[in-house]
Structure 1
Amino acid sequence: MSDSVLPHDPTTAERADASAATSPPPTDRARRRAVTAVAIGNLLEWYDFAVYAGLAAVLATLFFPAGDPLVSLLASFSVFAVGFASRPVGAIVFGRMADRHGRRPTLLVVITLMGVATVLIGVMPTYATAGIWAALLLTLARTAQGLSVGGEFSSSTAFLVEFAPAGRRGLYGSIAYLTACLGSFVGLAVVFVVRMLSTPEFLATWGWRIPFLLSFPLLAIGLYIRLRVHESPAFTGTAAAPDAGPLTTSLRTQRRGLLSLFGITIGFAVCSYTVLAFVVSYLTTVLALPASTAFPVILLATFVGSLAIPLFGALSDRVGRRPVIVAGSIGTACAAVPAYLLLGTGTFGGVVAGQLLVWLFVAMLCGACPAAFAEMFPTRLRTTAVGVSYSLALALFGGTTPFVSAWLIGATGSPIAPAAFVVVTATVSTVAALRMRETVGRGLPT
């Protein structure tokens, strides 16, 4: 495959990072603050998404009552998908803000939007009180969450990679996904504790609200830390002026890079949201496992899988981004059917093994992709280009993964039918990964 698929300007893409030439490198203290600022924000963002996924079955009966539990669950997952549908809009709005005015102010805005939207979910009325307005309010809150996440990923990824020392961008970039997955772990853990300590009556009245309201302390801590962090050195030190229209410029000059990123993200989105979002309802609704059994095995797999992410980020610094991403994509396609068969056993060992089998390859992608994506585009376009392409792929494939997976089960009657969705999308990502240009060893494009 050609190594020249992604367009690059030899006067910018192959020179050393602009920040190194125009400003002193950040201190270790500044780097630690940058990592902490991104970590707490990502943890909040994905805590909120995990709480919704973990309570999807409960929210289905409270906001979308229907005679068939699967119909209610589909309605609940459709609102889950709405949060992803608004991501590309958030990527455009906040990507432009980050590329024109800086990563730091953008990170402050998106964490505030996410925190406020999640707290509002915790206090809003249900269908029994407000009727259809309850479903509409939930949809609006999910839309706000989607806008926030659309700006968070690309801004935080650019921020981390731009702060990273030479030769360690893979490791630093992987922190974005490490903390996101740990946020999912914390969110699911809180949901599990609340469910175990609540009677069915309390869970349906006030118990389900507690995990959403607990995001407020995370919001306060995240805002405090992000207010104390400095702007990224690449943004402050770049010799190029901010682009007046980063979206139109990206679409005009970065088409191949955008397509490459989009293709890689397709399978990545489906496999990651299978283990981060769908598996909760799959085990409790489709396989009818009790929450006391399902949640501990999910938490164990999520925690172990998350810890592997920085290992693959560091590996990508040594062997390259492309080999790790290709291995992750091929592995996902090969593991899908065996993983669902293991999940279908309903045993503790089988459910853990099924999830970890997918998590192995999810961790590869989570480790290598952030740095690879950031290294594809110049500083003045980086946040917008990464955000728009990544968020569009997630909206079309990641956000719909729980819905499509549940629909496939209902349409075929087979509990392993969702594996076909994983195989097809992972195959697309494999082709895109094989055609990507290796970016290790190059300075960040300016």
Structure 2
Amino acid sequence: MTTAINPKAATAAARRPLWRTLVGTGIGNAVEWYDWAVYATFTPFLAGALFSKADKTSAVLATLAIFAVGFVARPFGGFLFGWIGDRIGRKSSMTLAVGLASLGSLLIAVAPGYAQVGALASATLLVARLLQGLAHGGELPSSQTYLSEMAPKEHRGFWATLIYTSGTAGILFGTLLGAVMTVVLPKVDMQVWGWRVPFAVGAALGLYALYMRSRLHESEVFTGEEAKAKRARIWPQIVRHRKQALQVIGLTVGLTVIYYVWGVVAPSHAATDLGMDRGAALWASVIGNLVFIAALPFWGKLSDRIGRRKVLLTGAIGTAVLHFPMTWLLKDQPWELAVSMSVMLIFIAASASIVPAVYAELFPTSIRTIGVGVPYSICVAVFGGTAPYLQSWLGSIHLGVLFSVYAVVLLLVSAAFVFTLPETMGKDLAEDAV
């Protein structure tokens, strides 16, 4: 007796693994970016609750210093979770990373106040940020490696856009949550307990991401690798692929600085330095980031048709050419911020959309996660982590133009590195790196 197969049921069953892959990968990445956004948004409240109120300025600076500690921890996370991803599995690395990030958020949410336990409150925040820094250093290389290996090779550029799409969605959610809470809750309530809410939300989202990732299947590229390759020593392989590691750094330096300038810091710069209304600056930045999300799949699909190198060059050169004109356009009007952010983020999206795929295509399976994770995390810590401070400092001594020159030079460095890349569009990731 034969059993009839329902075509609709079969199609739905086939789509479930795809849905799990996209949601499981995307939500973990969104949680990571959300964590960084809410920390920056709620810095004044963290300073008031977890540090001495004797010197408010010192408390804020100490809170920002602990924020920077998260960047310092990222390279160590890139190595730790990269090793787990390349030796135990991409799924294990992704799951552990999001679990650790969730724990960090939970620690901040329940941290005792300075008034109750003194310096222990500040120490709790430091430990939480170290945990999050380690987790975030491993999250991106693990998730983008997994996503790239799961994607059809003909559409890998398009699939790679999920990384920045989900990350930007996390930033938007965290920023909007902060804006709504500061309007709805009185300042006293925000200082006493309200600031804990976004971190509790982050912990809950992390737990959901943990659940979703526990249900994922390991990538066939990893499971198909020979056991001998998985047992091979890491460092000799890293040394052997030092050119690819340098290429990751070269491609990242321009993108990380220009993204922090226009995707993260621009609204704060407009409100603090240019006198724009903070609420208006927030909504202008929402418009810019929505344009960014819309542009990502366009560039990803285009790279699957014309190649990675052409798209990367368009992004690097386009942002370098437009940076000064958009900086001159931005004055004190919200529409100026919305237009300048949108224009810049369209071209930033060209690189951001596909670098996860490009990074994965540079390395062999045996070191694909750690090969990306370590150089990428070091680059982001050194260049991305210092960009906001450097921009503010040079602006305070009336040398802001030097920072713009610095950003453009780094973009041109990234453009130069594109010429060192092989064209990897459609590459079979089960093969050795070229």
Range that drifts further, 183-192 or 268-277: 268-277
Q: Does 1:422 align with 2:407?
A: yes
- Describe the shift of the 1:337–1:439 C-alpha distance in structure 2 as closer, same or farther (beyond 3 A): same
Q: Please say if residues 77 and 403 of structure 1, whose CA atoms lie closer than 8 Å, have aligned partners that are also in contact.
A: no
Residue correspondence of structure 1 range 355-434 to structure 2 within 5 A:
355-410=341-396, 412-413=397-398, 418-434=403-419
Indicate yes or no: 2:109 matched with 1:122.
yes
Kept after mapping to 1: 8 A contact 2:253/2:410: yes
For residues 62 and 283 of structure 1, what CA distance do their matches in structure 2 show? 27
Which residue number in structure 1 is paired with residue 309 of structure 2?
322
Q: How far does residue 311 in structure 1 lie from its aligned partner after superposition?
A: 1.6
Give a deviation string over 1:231-278, Cα, whole Å, max 9, x none: 011111124634446641333210111101111101111112223432
Contact 1:54 1:281 in 2 (8 A): no
Aligned-pair CA distance for 1:126: 4.8
Q: Kindly report which structure 2 residues correspond to 1:32-51, keeping only aligned pairs within 5 A, or say none.
A: 32-51=19-38
* Alignment pair present for 1:143 and 2:95: no
Superposition deviation, residue 175 in structure 1:
0.9
Structure 2 residue aligned with 1:352: 338
Once the two structures are superposed, the pairs formed by residues 33-432 of structure 1 within 5 Å of their partners are 33-60=20-47, 75-127=62-114, 130-239=117-226, 241-244=228-231, 247-343=234-330, 345-410=331-396, 412-413=397-398, 418-432=403-417
Where do 5+ consecutive residues of structure 1 fail to align? 1-25
Aligned equivalents of 1:218 and 1:115: distance in 2? 8
Alpha-carbon shift at residue 333 of structure 1 (Å): 1.8
Does structure 1 retain, via aligned residues, the 8 Å contact 2:69–2:130?
yes
**Which moves more between the two structures, 332-341 or 239-248?**
239-248
How far has the Cα of 1:365 moved from its partner? 1.2
CA contact (8 A) 1:157 1:173 kept: yes
Closer, same or farther: CA 232–188 of 1 in aligned 2, 3 Å: same
Q: Which has the higher contact order (CA 8 A, sep 6+)?
A: 1
Is residue 177–residue 367 contact of structure 1 (8 Å, CA) maintained in 2? yes
Task: In structure 1, give the amino acid aligned to 2:302.
Answer: L
SS in 2 for 1:86: helix
**Number of residues paired by the alignment?**
418
> How much does 1:398 deviate?
1.2
Residue 366 of structure 2 aligns to a residue whose secondary structure is coil
CA distance in 2, matches of 1:215, 1:366: 24
Determine which structure has more spread, i.e. the larger CA radius of gyration.
2
The 1:341–1:138 alpha-carbon spacing in structure 2 relative to 1, beyond 3 Å, is: farther
Distance 1:330 1:233 in 2: 37
Q: TM-score, normalised by structure 2?
A: 0.89
Pairwise CA distance, 1:397: 0.9
8 A Cα contact 2:101 2:136, kept in partner: yes
- Contact 2:391 2:400 (8 Å CA) reproduced: no
Counterpart CA distance in 2 for 1:341 and 1:128 is 46
For residue 109 of structure 1, report the CA deviation from its aligned partner.
Answer: 0.6
- The one-letter amino acid of 1:335's match is L
Task: List gaps (5 residues or longer) in structure 2.
Answer: 1-12
SS in 2 for 1:214: helix
Correspondence for 1:435 among 391, 413, 420: 420
**Cα-to-partner distance string for 1:383-415 (whole Å, 9 max, x where unaligned):** 0101111111111111222222222222x2366
Task: Please state how far the C-alpha of 1:197 moved relative to its aligned partner.
Answer: 1.4
Counterpart code for 1:437: P
Query: Cα gap change, 1:116/1:342 in structure 2, threshold over 3 Å: closer, same or farther?
Result: farther
1:433 deviates by 1.8
User: Share of identical aligned residues, percent?
Assistant: 34
Per-residue CA deviation, residues 68-118 of structure 1 (Å, 9 max, x unaligned), is: 86x766554433222111111001000000100101111111111111101
Shift of 1:206: 2.2
Distance 2:190 2:181 in 1: 8
Residue 380 of structure 1 aligns to a residue in which SS? helix
TM-superposed CA distance for 1:329, in Å, is 1.3
Do the aligned partners of 1:405 and 1:421 also contact (CA within 8 Å) in 2? no
Matched, 1:31 2:10: no
Superposed displacement of residue 323, structure 1 = 1.1
Write out per-residue CA displacement over residues 288-307 of structure 1, whole angstroms, 9 at most, x where no aligned residue: 43432222112221122122
More displaced, 297-306 or 50-59?
Answer: 50-59
